[in-house]
Structure 1
């Protein structure tokens, strides 16, 4: 609970997030992930070593660039519904959450510096499909469903929780309310389609404003993830006060649609250098942007190029 009451990214500390953990494990490490559940990789030595190597790489990248590191737990698919489909009972699932938080605490102890604060972030995924939900929860239903993970993360010492790849506002509202009840900071990250709208069809602006209106602005901030910068840059260019609530970006390397990514049998890792350059443009549209990482298809190369592009931009401005 080191940073629970003072998240450094809320004080203009520039932070890194990691990249596409699941795509790295599947396509680069050759590890099978049923239901895209990264935590399943922790059941064998190869998976443990791969995730450890992956996270250490980002920790070193953050320290080298004098940026903080938002350390995500590999729990995007570790909510009760998905665990049940994987044959994992509640006690075992709870142990997964305890162990991943403890592992990240050890990583923080090893790498953190005064210039690079490390934050333990409990990751929560959507109740339904992260690209095309077929079952829509009310805010109350979402709170009842997601409180299990939120409470575990709060109890085991995570600094914050993040709901990643959210596809509609009501589920996000429920998660914010669960986190508020558990007294832990919460971040909501929406995904968008190639037209810049959520899979629900709503605009990013309306989704953010709906969550804030329903929760009195209780979310620490918002993010965008699992979409290429070209898919949402035009939305941000429209401007407005709502963009001030966006502090984080975790974009895809690929310009493919969600449907195309779902069917892809090979990794599309895009162009890492271009990825960094595109984030220069996005940063100019988001004055409160403090957290940058990657999502599907990205790895250390992509985030490293984001750091280089940010440095080049700062030098040019100076």
Structure 2
């Protein structure tokens, strides 16, 4: 399908593992891994602005675009309720998250284009596949969040850490209903397969055949775990590796631990920067349409800077 129209011919820096960075590097308590409550007060918004400044600097040095992603991965009804948010307060939080990034973009932080992506997370656990999800049920579930993000002015929505195709199709349907471009990001286990056992190739093919998103990403897995997934062939007559053109973004984990090990860990594993960078470069060579690069769990500005071939300096060294 070629380069997504919204991205044009530009590469985009995006951020790292927001929640793990805030918890382990900044000492914050984020119940249920939810960062979105930070938008409710001035101190939280100031912390988020400072967090994003590190990635602004990486994009400036790279001469690239910047994809600002809202801290709303947990801002859906089930997870929101666990931290005391009803539908009305969730709607407001999603809108405030977009407004925060709109203000940052208005400051013209980089020379390249700046896009605001409304972040959507899974209804269940992003590490564990539940029962098969009905796409229409998933669309109805995610629709309120996507409507709030769209009405607040997000340029697109990105659903991260999805574990199966049913929920992915539902998110695409709901995003289309509110007129938002949408990207789908799957996570994979150490064998390169989705938590539900699907190959990455088949997951992309299934979603594309029903309700195609604007592009796909892979997140929350080390490059060494993503690599076997990229060797798969789609059972859809696409000629083996043609589906790889649909993967436009990567947000890898820093650690080579399994999802189960990471879930059980009480300390941060920052991984090996050299291994992360070298294994990522191998993936880059396999993905001809790669344009969006950031990090996921365990990563911070140091990791993302290395993925962009930079050595951390100045503002982008975390506390």
Q: Tell me if both proteins adopt one fold, taking TM over 0.5 as the criterion.
A: yes
Give the counterpart of 1:86 among 83, 86, 90.
83
**1:308 alignment partner, SS class:** coil
Gaps of 5+ in 2: 233-239, 311-319
Please show how residues 1-318 of structure 1 align to structure 2 within 5 Å.
6-8=5-7, 11-43=8-40, 46-113=43-110, 115-215=111-211, 217=212, 219-238=213-232, 240-308=241-309
Query: How far off its partner does 1:281 sit?
Result: 1.0
Query: How far off its partner does 1:70 sit?
Result: 0.9
CA distance in 2, matches of 1:112, 1:50: 17
Matched residue, 1:312: none
CA distance in 1, matches of 2:161, 2:285: 23
* Shift >6 Å, 4+ stretches: none
Query: How far off its partner does 1:44 sit?
Result: 5.3
* Per-residue CA distance 1:20-48 (angstroms, 9 max, x = gap): 00000110111011110011234455543
CA distance in 2, matches of 1:251, 1:232: 8
Query: How far off its partner does 1:235 sit?
Result: 2.4
Query: How far off its partner does 1:294 sit?
Result: 0.3
| Contact map agreement 1:225 1:250 (CA 8 A) in 2 | yes
TM-score w.r.t. length of structure 1? 0.90
**2:309 alignment partner, SS class:** helix
CA distance in 1, matches of 2:19, 2:42: 17
| Contact map agreement 2:72 2:120 (CA 8 A) in 1 | yes
Question: What RMSD over aligned residues (CA atoms) do the two structures have, in Å?
Answer: 1.7
Query: How far off its partner does 1:96 sit?
Result: 0.8
**1:119 alignment partner, SS class:** strand
CA distance in 2, matches of 1:20, 1:75: 13
CA distance in 2, matches of 1:50, 1:161: 23
CA distance in 2, matches of 1:197, 1:275: 20
Matched residue, 2:314: none
CA distance in 2, matches of 1:194, 1:287: 23
| Contact map agreement 2:39 2:96 (CA 8 A) in 1 | no
Going by fraction, where is helix more abundant, 1 or 2?
1
Query: How far off its partner does 1:167 sit?
Result: 0.3
CA distance in 2, matches of 1:155, 1:46: 25
Gaps of 5+ in 1: 310-318
Query: How far off its partner does 1:205 sit?
Result: 0.7
| Contact map agreement 1:59 1:111 (CA 8 A) in 2 | no
Aligned residues: 301
**1:107 alignment partner, SS class:** helix
**1:294 alignment partner, SS class:** coil
TM-score w.r.t. length of structure 2? 0.90
| Contact map agreement 1:249 1:291 (CA 8 A) in 2 | yes
CA distance in 2, matches of 1:28, 1:49: 16
Query: How far off its partner does 1:192 sit?
Result: 0.4
